[in-house]
Copies of this chain bind each other. A is one copy, B any other.
């Protein structure tokens, strides 16, 4: 086991920014992210793993300003596909495609998703650990008024529109948790649930058998950073998912969802029944990311697990 780490459960952008802030605040060698793979998709002959990739690109300082993909990437392949008549609904840069094709090759050669991501990460300078929640396939499906959709299709083709009527993490019950993730949780100094969509991004991680129990059993305090700021979600369709789960769209609702897992909450509002660090949780640049991370860390270290 590595030295006691800061473990961050993460989905996409919000969680990834906090992971990056933690790496700045505490040193990347002490950060391990456990990341949702429910958004994974096989497309263009490649295995795309959006959330783990996003966290990796952030940790390698390779994230593009557009908020996803590799910095300065080109789009020759997608442009050419469009030129050939393909409906390109899922956009992927050329270097991003290469990254995903390389992963497919490694998976075909028998490497686990965890090992493949570690090798990919080493090649672009990822510092810190990015751990897929499981090496087994778990796929998030969302039902809206037009039917059931794999997560990416819901987000992109359906534009995340329509009320959420159903949410399934297919394969989760049969999936084994990442051993590295379980070990990181058991040995963690603090455990942070990042400001990602609780239902769509964090719930798939918690649905993998063993992870929820490992979090409960961990010595480390568990603290969630609320993804809701000023009563709104900063990005994505968190509101629809919170409504589906009959949760209030505020830190209380987030605390309700995580329930007994939490020892504390970081939010821009107070949560009466739980230790709360009330602070500005917006992370719009490197210094605000590090500040939120530092405050969250200090707050969590003052709690007991």
What residues make up the interface of A, taking CB atoms closer than 8 Å to B? 44-46, 74, 76-81, 83-86, 94-95, 97-99, 101-102, 104-105, 119-120, 123-124
A254 to B6, CA, bound (A): 72
**Cross-chain pairs A/B with CB under 8 angstroms, 25 sampled:** A44-B45, A45-B101, A45-B104, A74-B74, A74-B76, A74-B94, A76-B76, A76-B95, A77-B94, A77-B97, A77-B101, A79-B98, A80-B94, A80-B99, A81-B101, A81-B102, A83-B95, A84-B98, A84-B99, A84-B102, A84-B120, A84-B123, A84-B124, A85-B102, A86-B102
User: Given A45-B44, A45-B101, is A119 in contact with B76 using a C-beta cutoff of 8 Å?
Assistant: no
A104 to B81, CA, bound (A): 12
In the complex, which residues of chain B have a beta carbon less than 8 angstroms from the beta carbon of A77?
76-77, 94-95, 97-98, 101
A84 to B124, CA, bound (A): 7
In the complex, which residues of chain B have a beta carbon less than 8 angstroms from the beta carbon of A123?
83-85
Residue from A46, A74, A97 with most neighbouring chain B CB atoms (10 Å): A97
Name the CB-closest residue of B to A93.
B76
A84 to B98, CA, bound (A): 8
In the complex, which residues of chain B have a beta carbon less than 8 angstroms from the beta carbon of A120?
84
In the complex, which residues of chain B have a beta carbon less than 8 angstroms from the beta carbon of A105?
86
The answer to whether A85 and B45 have CB atoms under 8 Å apart is: no
Name the CB-closest residue of B to A120.
B84
In the complex, which residues of chain B have a beta carbon less than 8 angstroms from the beta carbon of A79?
98
Shortest C-beta distance, A191 to chain B (Å), equals 31
Name the CB-closest residue of B to A46.
B45
6 new A-B pairs (CB below 8 Å) besides A84-B102, A86-B102, A94-B94?
A: A44-B101, A74-B74, A80-B97, A84-B98, A84-B124, A86-B98
Residue from A44, A77, A105 with most neighbouring chain B CB atoms (10 Å): A77
Partner of A45, one of B45, B74, B80, B99: B45
Partner of A119, one of B44, B46, B81, B85: B85
Name the CB-closest residue of B to A85.
B123
